[in-house]
Amino acid sequence: MAPGDTGLAIETSQLSKSFGTRHAVNNLDLAVPHGSVFGFLGPNGSGKTTTIRMLLGLATPTSGSISVLGRPMPAAGQDVLPHVGALVEGPAFYPFLSGRSNLLRLDAANPRSAAADRRRRVDRALDTVGLGQAARLAVHAYSLGMKQRLGIANALATDHELLVLDEPTNGLDPQGTREVRHLIASLAGAGTTVFISSHLLSEIEQMCTHAAVMSNGNRVAQGTLAELRSGGNGTVVIHTPDADAARTVLGGLGLLPGGEAAQGGDTAVVPHGETGEEGGTGVVQVPWPDDEPAPESIVAALVAAGVRVRGFALERPSLEDRFVELTGEGFDVAR
């Protein structure tokens, strides 16, 4: 399968990888659009790095197909990989060589990179990640954060169409994390497709346009960030002293807590129809599963029925709630 002009930088179809009896990745379908910043989320051990290894031709799929930049992997690796910069499972360098020598060696391994401006490109990449000063220091003297920066510099030494970054902010201080975010934004602005794996939700939320969520080797969601957010169930929250009247009105609009049966019962995070007395004002919460009816018509109906509405809110689950819902666990659980 070699879709030439699907507009996808990465496409996988039914991609699976087993190690013995353990299924690391299961029938994974990924679609990473050109020019997107694609977040690849999942708890540790959910199959992200194994997927990245297969995308880059380091590991062979047990079954399924991969296309990167329109060419099949791993078959077309020698043609595809010169256009791909990558950071895979942390940076790795020769500890006895300087940061600069390490990058020069890896650049020399690429038969398509021009020898003439190798030093200039490497020095520029080192400056970009703020390692200009430490470039001639042996890597064994580097901190984890400096190695991480060096790994990113390696991915930047040549201009790539696609960057695959596995946990790029691992080990970076907040300042470094911000710099990486800005770097990715500027690369994306220049048209580079960026594929970022992370177990840190906030990171993805701040950087990405698209995301896929992995759990135990399965893809449990994929889409634009907006699509992923809207996938969850909203909640209508009304503050009113006339709680019973409000419930009656909402019931008339099809929003009674009883309506939950229609949603498959996975809304445990919302305490349905709960009423609390707070200085005479009750709080009525009901699920709002299909974004229907429109909020203004809910308020209009409440007011028309004489309900004293003192507060009205539509609560969307945060992306975090959504991911906990999808992966069935806290995000950092496996660390």
Partner 1 sequence: MPGSALLVSELALVFRRRRTWAMLAALGAVPVLVAVAVRLTSGPPTGRGPAFLDRVAGNGLFVAIVGMFMCIPLFLPLTVSVVAGDTIAGEAGHGTLRYLLIAPASRGRLLLVKYFGAAVFCLAAALVVALVGVLIGLALFGVGPVTLLSGDTIPLGESLGRIGLMAAYVAISLWGLAAIGLFISTLTDVPVGAMAATAVLSVASQILGQLPQLDWLHPWLFTQHWFGFADLLREPILWASFGENALLQAGYVLVFGALAYGRLSTKDVLS
Q: How open is the CA angle 161-165-166, to the nearest 5 degrees?
A: 155
| DSSP track, 167-213 | STTTT--HHHHHHHHHHHHHHHHTT-EEEEEES-HHHHHHH-SEEEE
* φ, ψ (nearest 5 deg) of residue 270: -100, 120
Residue 96 binds partner 1, judged by CB under 8 A: yes
**Which one among 59, 125, 163, 180 touches partner 1, defined by CB under 8 A?**
59
Residue 116 binds partner 1, judged by CB under 8 A: no
How many CB atoms are closer than 10 A to CB 189? Answer: 10
Of residues 147 and 239, the one with the C-beta less far from partner 1: 147
* φ, ψ (nearest 5 deg) of residue 245: -65, -40
Of residues 115 and 261, the one with the C-beta less far from partner 1: 115
User: Which span sits near partner 1 by CB under 8 A: 88-96, 175-183, 212-220, 324-332?
Assistant: 88-96
Residue 93 binds partner 1, judged by CB under 8 A: yes
Contacts (Cβ under 8 Å, ≥6 apart) of 329: 43
* φ, ψ (nearest 5 deg) of residue 50: -60, -40
Kindly identify the residues of this chain, within the stretch 125-144, that bind partner 1 according to CB under 8 A: none
- Amino acid, res. 163: L
**Which one among 67, 154, 169, 240 touches partner 1, defined by CB under 8 A?**
154
Residue 196 binds partner 1, judged by CB under 8 A: no
Of residues 12 and 327, the one with the C-beta less far from partner 1: 12
Residue 72 binds partner 1, judged by CB under 8 A: no
**Which one among 14, 44, 63, 78 touches partner 1, defined by CB under 8 A?**
78
DSSP class of residue 140 equals G
CB of 89 to partner 1, least distance (A): 8
Residue 262 binds partner 1, judged by CB under 8 A: no
- Amino acid, res. 334: A
Decide the pairing of beta strands 162-166 and 193-198.
parallel
Q: How far apart are CA 157 and CA 173, in angstroms?
A: 23
Residue 97 binds partner 1, judged by CB under 8 A: yes
| DSSP track, 230-275 | HTSPEEEEEEES-HHHHHHHHHHTT-SGGGGGGGTT--TTS-TT--
CB of 118 to partner 1, least distance (A): 8
Residue 58 binds partner 1, judged by CB under 8 A: yes
**Which one among 72, 82, 251, 293 touches partner 1, defined by CB under 8 A?**
82
Distance of CA 114 to the CA centre of its chain: 33
Q: Give the x-and-dash track for 5-44 against partner 1 (CB under 8 A).
A: ----------------------------------------
User: Strand pairing partners for 87?
Assistant: 165
**Which one among 57, 217, 259, 289 touches partner 1, defined by CB under 8 A?**
57
Of residues 105 and 178, the one with the C-beta less far from partner 1: 105
Token pair in block for residue 52: 């990245």
Residue 76 binds partner 1, judged by CB under 8 A: no
Name the CA dihedral angle for 206, 211, 215, 219, rounded to a multiple of 10 degrees: 180
Q: How far apart are CA 259 and CA 264, in angstroms?
A: 10
Of residues 76 and 220, the one with the C-beta less far from partner 1: 76
CB of 132 to partner 1, least distance (A): 21
Residue 329 binds partner 1, judged by CB under 8 A: no
Residue 110 binds partner 1, judged by CB under 8 A: yes
Residue 107 binds partner 1, judged by CB under 8 A: yes
Give the binding-site size for partner 1 (rule: CB under 8 A). Answer: 33
Q: Which residues bind partner 1 (CB under 8 A)?
A: 53, 56-60, 77-78, 81-82, 84, 86, 88-90, 92-97, 104-112, 115, 118, 154
